[in-house]
Structure 1
Amino acid sequence: MADGFVACMFVFLVLASTFLRRAAAGDVITVDVIIIGAGAAGLSAGKTLSEGGITDFVILEATERIGGRIRNAEFARLKVELGANWIEGVNGEKENPVYTLANEVNLKYSDALYDNVSQNIYDHTGYLAPELVTPVVERAEHLFDFVEDLGTKFTNENLDDISVLTAQRFFGHVPSTAVEMVIDSWNYDFVSAEPPRVTSLRNSQPLATDTFLGPDSYFVSDQRGYATLLEPLAYYLNCKGGMCSDPRLRLNTAVTKIEYSTGGVTVHTEDEIRYRGKAAVLTVSIGVLQTDLIHFSPALPFWKLSAIYQFNMAVYTKIFLKFPKRFWPTGPGTEYLLYADVKRGYYPFWQHLDNEFPGENIIFTTVTDDESRRIEQMPDEETLAEVMVVLRKMFGPDIPNASHILYPRWWQDKYFRGTFSNWPIGVSSYEYKQLQAPVGRLYFSGEHCSEQYNGYVHGAIFAGSETAHAVLKCLHEDKCDTLYSRPKATT
């Protein structure tokens, strides 16, 4: 057995040294499968390929680390998550792979206690007593339940899609006051990063994540990073502590051009290396697919572009702040706060991190959609000035200035162009199948290709595995045509 192990290691080292030696400008590297993107979907695809008997693949990642939109950053001597932060959909009838992976690596997380948020609402006058907002909260709950029930009806009866806002009109009341709008934003924008007027009713209400995976959520604060849970998913890359030793993973390798046909795929990178494969799995975000970052040859067909362009790439921005002292409420039921402004989406969501980082005096606010895009174009100091005005309305004029501020610019980053996908009004399951369908031997994957769980990390994991199974079927059984045809209309 020892001799066999030594022999296997020798073969691996020879292959690794050959791969690295050939990886120079002008070289052509031939593999079975090329995976583009080392986020959750790309890593999941690699795992499924490995378990299906295909190990001759390469993963090309444009950035310096695995994880994609799962990434943290240094902030005031700590690490905070710029992207994925919650494990959502737990304790339901179906297992959530993110939760399983998190427990496998003993990731540190805490309960996301949303239930008391309606008791923590502020406006320009400060704290709003519960007796003032209770009637508004109760009506919002009835409205939310009505919309979910209507969404179920539209799905079960196969009715033409409408927006969540249209569903609210059926209820007979659309949120319009500052308090109504912030509760409405909490129910929808906080989840989908876009307002009800653009979000599909049939495909978002009720959320499949809550229905099938479970109603519970957990907030990750592990200083190793949320991305640590990806290490067992990417076991075949020998990842530990954020570092992966397998030469099949190529970091800082941006793809510029993809040539595809029914016979295979050739991928060109910025470092002037070409990778040729029998198939490729493209996991870049829907936001990137909607730009010209990658040139396709031949150009993607109209049906594919039509599907890509119809979906939304939402923007979700967390703005972290550190203060010399705490001035917000603490204790059970105070983690999440709402700020009701006459302008919808103006610094509406707040969460302190006293439980996760005791004594550090860190709080963050979340903005989405157009507010995210606006703030991304402002320097940090201007954003901080706006935030301080809001906080002084909430907690009084004497609170101190923040000593640190940090927030990502997902929309401006050419490798992401947003945070996660959102299913817009009027896009059917047919368009979703077209979004997933391959062109030639070029396959598409990512959270945006998960029909039930788009926008979520678990959606990316499910999609990566599903796409890899399609590639295995193509390469092992020569069944490569998975183009989905529009169902015939019934009379």
Structure 2
Amino acid sequence: MNCSDANPSLHKTALNDTKTYKIIIIGAGVAGLCASNILRDNNIDDYLILEARNRIGGRIIAINIEGRQLELGANWIHGVLGNPIYELASVNGLIPIVQSSSSHTVLAAMEDGAKLPFAILQEMYEVYSVFLKRCEEYFLCRYLPPEGVSSVGEHLRLERDLYLQKLPEQQRKSRLLVFDYLMRRETCIIGSGDLNAVDLMEIGSYTELPGGNISLPTGFSSILGPLAKHVPPEKILKGHAVSVVRWNNAAEDETQLLGAQMKEKQKVEILCDNGKVFYADSVICTVPLGVLKHSAKTMFQPPLPDNKMTSIEKLCYGTVDKIYLEYDRAFFTSELSELILLWDKTDDTADMASRWYRKIYSFTKINDTLLLGWISGEEAKYMETLSFEIVSEKCTEILRLFLADPFVPKPKRCICTSWWSQPYSRGSYSSIGVGGSQLDIQTIAAPLYAQPHHTIPSLLFAGEHCHPSFYSTVHGAYLSGLDAARYLCELPGIVNTQQDPVTAASDSSNSKQTRTQTSADADADEEARAPQTSSSRCENKNVSQKDASTSDLTLTVEGTADLSSWLHGISLN
């Protein structure tokens, strides 16, 4: 995104085409659509959504190929109990009353075509699940890991080595290959191309909702219908990429403010790439974390506070891509559902061109003539630079190698996603990097006030990266949008209702005490941040900043016996 200030003539032209609103939402993904619905429910009609793409949905998108719908983005509803996306889908008839169960038969093969006994696969799956749960316990129990171990990858490898040392030499290699496969798969689940980049003490901060992973018969993108049906089309301006957000136009006069001389809150100015300019009292920014990492320094004027920028850097934002292979005829046996690729040890120092494809961990059968592969990290970014034809040829080589079948046909069509290359996503979803914490998520989500005496924030943030327990999920994005919109709706002066002036003044005073970030205290120490739940910006409005910073951090986690739900809706049983 380019700053419009670099082109004065563009800015001059833009001023001739301005609009003013009470609230502007940047982004028509799940967070933005949810926020707009909350505003509507509170009788706020003076809002607008600016969407950079020519469609809604953000990282939810499907394409139609010869009558077949392929989901390029989000795939599953993660969990049932307490999941608003599941409730939304259920109420709107997107989930069948009777769920049909189908067996999932896997074949684990090595590079020489040898097949691994299922008993070994099941053993290592169960062992790996235990090791992963141990990683999560560090957050839940708050005890320290072994010295020198700070990442999930390091801890899993430590556990792996201790386990394999107890086995005879001839039993280790096959189990090592399975373990490496599970770790490659985990990178796609967590959303980080390297598990060594994921913080060990914080992986347990993600809350897994019970119920496993649910697929929608009509495709996950069908959830956009219920989300957007109450948003008037004229409220969404597509093709309006935001380049600059001037959220504190009085910043240069800040040192001159003295008591009664303090000015009233100025409008937030939003400049779009197409030259249009908009103004709002408050802005809810729902752009993905990848876009913030790439453009925050030039997008926001004045720059975001240092602690918010530091938190943006501390979170990981990985790339996870899909590879669809479509065939004229079926060649997987009718009972086979997934081919697991047990690659020999990969030389990470080798040229990317000779190793990118070794990050593909399996091919899953979507139907008889359609396969799906997953790839993550730097390898996924490299794949995005290749033509579909090159990817298709390499996948054919892989299938022939692992199936020990030189007659595996070439696909008639190959479609690869490119989430890293997309300028309005810059990746797939977030995780907490080494040295980061839930507090960084809360710092990013915290509202910004142009001046300490203002009662209405100029800038709020939402998106999956803004939910401290459900980051990386669609329901996390949904709840963060709900949270930001409700926070605004509960402030005096936002909703058009009559209110006693004394009560309004009291509410304003209490609300002002809980702001976690203002332009005046932007560089406050991290220990001053108050832990928040997903809706704490609304619920803790009347808690003083002192009380918030000293209150105990509690976490309630509802357990689940479904250990396979961390896989993409796939059970090995």
TM-score by length of 2: 0.71
Partner SS, residue 258 of structure 1: strand
Q: Which residue of 1 aligns with 2:499?
A: none
SS in 1 for 2:203: coil
Shift of residue 144, structure 1, vs aligned partner: 2.5
Distance change >3 Å, CA 120–CA 482, structure 1 → 2:
farther
Matched residue of 1:330: which SS? coil
Amino acid at match of 1:54: I
Contact conserved, 2:139 with 2:203, CA < 8 A, in 1? no
Is 1:472 aligned to residue 489 of structure 2? yes
Offset, 1:336: 3.2
1:338 shift after superposition: 1.4
Query: Which 10-residue stretch deviates more, 406-415 or 74-83?
Result: 74-83
Q: Deviations over 1:315-337 (max 9, x none)?
A: 11111111111111333xx4333
Aligned partners of 2:76 and 2:215 also within 8 Å: yes
* Residue correspondence of structure 1 range 231-246 to structure 2 within 5 A: 231-238=225-232, 245=233
Q: Is the 8 A contact 1:88 1:218 kept in 2?
A: yes
Counterpart position of 1:166: 154
Q: Secondary structure at the match of 2:200?
A: coil
Structure-2 change in CA distance of 1:482 and 1:330 (3 Å) = farther
| Contact 1:264 1:278 survives alignment (8 Å) | yes
Q: One-letter code of the match for 1:75?
A: I
* Equivalent pair of 1:111/1:218 in contact (CA under 8 Å): no
Distance 1:458 1:469, change over 3 A: same
Supply the distance in 2 between the matched residues of 1:206 and 1:467 (Cα, whole angstroms): 21
Match for residue 198 of structure 1?
Answer: 197
Match of 2:59 among 34, 50, 69: 69
Counterpart residue identity of residue 415, structure 1: Y
CA shift at 1:230, angstroms?
Answer: 2.5
**Which amino acid is the alignment partner of residue 138 of structure 1?**
E
Where does residue 328 of structure 1 map in the other structure? 332
Instruction: Give the % identical residues.
Output: 25
1:28 to 18, 42, 51: 18
**3-state SS in 1 of match to 2:225:** helix
- For residue 251 of structure 1, the aligned residue among 218, 235, 238 is 238
Contact 1:411 1:418 in 2 (8 A): yes
For normalisation by structure 1, the TM-score amounts to 0.82
Counterpart CA distance in 1 for 2:195 and 2:474 is 22
Question: Cα gap change, 1:194/1:319 in structure 2, threshold over 3 Å: closer, same or farther?
Answer: same
Deviation at 1:124, TM superposition (A): 1.5
Aligned residue pairs, count: 443
Distance in 2, Cα, partners of 1:330 & 1:206: 40
Aligned residue in 1 for 2:129: 144
Amino acid at match of 1:437: A
Q: Which amino acid aligns with 1:473?
A: E
State the distance in 2 between where 1:115 and 1:138 align: 19
Q: Shift in Å at residue 271 of structure 1? A: 2.4
The aligned residue for residue 15 of structure 1 is none
Give the Cα–Cα distance (whole angstroms) in 2 for the partners of residues 302 and 142 of structure 1. Answer: 42
User: Which residue of structure 2 lines up, in the alignment, with residue 483 of structure 1?
Assistant: 516
Distance 2:492 2:144 in 1: 39
For 2:100 and 2:269, how far apart are their aligned partners in 1? 45
Give the equivalent residue in structure 1 for 2:306: 302
> Partner of 2:565 in structure 1?
none
Aligned-pair distance for 1:207? 4.5
Alignment of 1:86-97 (within 5 A): 86-90=76-80, 94-97=81-84
Q: Which moved more, 1:382-391 or 1:25-34?
A: 25-34
Q: Secondary structure at the match of 2:303?
A: coil
In structure 2, distance between residues paired with 1:89 and 1:259: 39
**Matches of 1:373 and 1:111, distance apart in 2:** 37
How far did 1:73 drift?
1.3
Aligned to 1:156: 141
Q: Rg: which structure is higher? A: 2
Q: Does structure 2 conserve the Cα–Cα contact (< 8 Å) formed by 1:112 and 1:219? A: no
Match of 1:338 among 337, 340, 345: 340
CA-based RMSD: 2.9
Gaps of 5+ in 1: 1-23, 239-244
Equivalent pair of 2:462/2:481 in contact (CA under 8 Å): yes
| CA–CA distance in structure 2, aligned partners of residues 42 and 456 of structure 1 | 15
- Equivalent residue, structure 2, for 1:218: 214
**8 A Cα contact 1:49 1:468, kept in partner:** yes
Determine if the alignment matches structure 1 residue 229 to structure 2 residue 212. no
Paired residue for 1:56?
A: 46
Per the alignment, do residues 288 and 112 of structure 1 end up closer, same or farther by CA in structure 2, a change over 3 Å counting? farther
Q: Residues 273-284 of structure 1: matches in 2 within 5 Å?
A: 273-284=276-287
Cα shift at 1:170? 5.0
Change over 3 Å in CA distance of 1:115–1:445 after alignment to 2: farther
Q: Tell me if structure 2 keeps the 8 A contact 1:114–1:336.
A: no
1:398-432 superposed Cα distances (whole Å, 9 cap, x missing partner): 11111001112110111110111122222122222
Q: Which secondary structure state, in structure 2, belongs to the residue aligned with residue 204 of structure 1? A: helix
Q: Which has the higher strand share?
A: 1
Q: Given residue 216 of structure 2, which amino acid in structure 1 is its aligned partner?
A: V
CA distance in 2, matches of 1:125, 1:41: 47
Residue identity opposite 1:470 in structure 2: Y
Residues 1:98 and 2:94 aligned together = no
2:410 counterpart of 1:393: no
Contact (CA 8 Å) 1:137, 1:183: kept in 2 or not?
A: no
**Residue of 430, 436, 443 corresponding to 1:434:** 443
Post-superposition Cα deviations, 1:206-226, rounded to whole Å, max 9, x if no partner, equal 8412xxx2141123352xx53
Residue 288 of structure 2: aligned partner: 285
Q: How does 1:8-23 map to 2 (within 5 A)?
A: none
* CA distance in 2: counterparts of 1:421 and 1:195, whole angstroms: 13
